[in-house]
Amino acid sequence: MSASPTSADSTDVAEADSNDVEDKPLGRNAERAAATRARIMCAVIDILDQQAFSALSNSRIVASAGVSSGAVMHHFPTRADLLAETVRFAYNRLCDWRAAQLETFEPGLPRFRAVIDLAWATARTPEGIAVNEIRISARSNEALATAVRPALSSIANDYGRFIGKLVRSAGMEPTQEVQGLSSTAAMALRSLSIDRMTNPSPQMVENVLLSLRTMREDLIAAQLGESVRIDPHICNLPTPKDLRRPASEQLQ
């Protein structure tokens, strides 16, 4: 027969019960806070994508996110904080999309081959354009550059690890040439996503992608033999219907 709890035990039980009750609203508050932060960052992404960095005002963010200016200041005390967190948020969304796209390909070479077309696709998304706008604006804004540098450096390192895993899964070695191609592709396609706004030439896009795919096939053949080379004209990515959906709509 178990002994009755002492008064101290009873107090502990009561406090535990009280904590359990208090945890529930705290959990809901955390969810609401996360949802508010997401709405704000999606608003930033959409403004940067549709109107460019110069249009990113507090009033537009508040109107687009449907929150108060106080809420924006509460979650992101400075503009630099907001933009640095938006870079991380956008990259995580792109990673999720990229992972889902890769699942449609067989493991190994097909997934490695898809990287170039994936890079072109992600560069054209609202998230990709937004991060590009922030990256360009940081060039002439030292405070912004200081705030976003850790996030952008972390993204570059994470992308490098991602490429390394794909390369090894394809039976290849991540040599300097392979790593250089992945970096070249990412930077070239980010630039192309901007250039096509003033020079919307489908032929130019096709030429750039063909050149990158040709270099990819040269590297594959050099490591695995000519028998595995494929036609570089082949696009390795289906175009998703919602590629250009505003970030805010994707929360719904």
pLDDT-derived band of residue 196, with 50, 70 and 90 as boundaries?
confident
* pLDDT for 17: 41
pLDDT category at 229 given cuts 50, 70, 90 is very high
CA–CA distance from 159 to each of 152, 182, 193 (Å)?
10, 9, 19
Higher pLDDT: 21 or 195? It is: 195
Is 194 within 8 Å of 183 (Cβ atoms)? no
CA distances from 67 to 4, 61, 80, 114, 142 (A): 52, 8, 19, 39, 29
Average pLDDT over residues 196-200: 81
For the stretch 3-55, pLDDT in tens is 444 433 433 333 334 344 344 445 788 899 999 999 999 999 999 999 999 99
Q: What is the pLDDT of residue 246?
A: 72
Between 10 and 166, name the one with better pLDDT: 166
Residue 1 has a pLDDT of 42
What is the mean predicted confidence (pLDDT) over 192-196? 87
Instruction: Compute CA 55 distance to the chain's CA centroid, rounded to the nearest angstrom.
Output: 22
Per-residue pLDDT, 15: 36
Report the pLDDT value the prediction gives residue 242, as an integer from 0 to 100: 55
Q: What pLDDT band is residue 249 in, cutting at 50, 70 and 90?
A: confident
Which residue do the tokens 């449907």 mark?
Answer: 66
Q: Residue 241's pLDDT is what? A: 53
Q: What is the pLDDT of residue 20?
A: 42
pLDDT at 61 exceeding the cut of 70: yes
Domain boundaries, the chain: 78-251
Is residue 169 predicted with pLDDT exceeding 60?
A: yes
The per-residue pLDDT for 37 is 96
- H or E element: which one contains 141? none
CA 83 from chain centre, in angstroms, equals: 13
Whether residue 181 has pLDDT greater than 50: yes
Spell out the residues 6+ positions from residue 165 whose beta carbon is closer than 8 angstroms to its own.
Answer: none
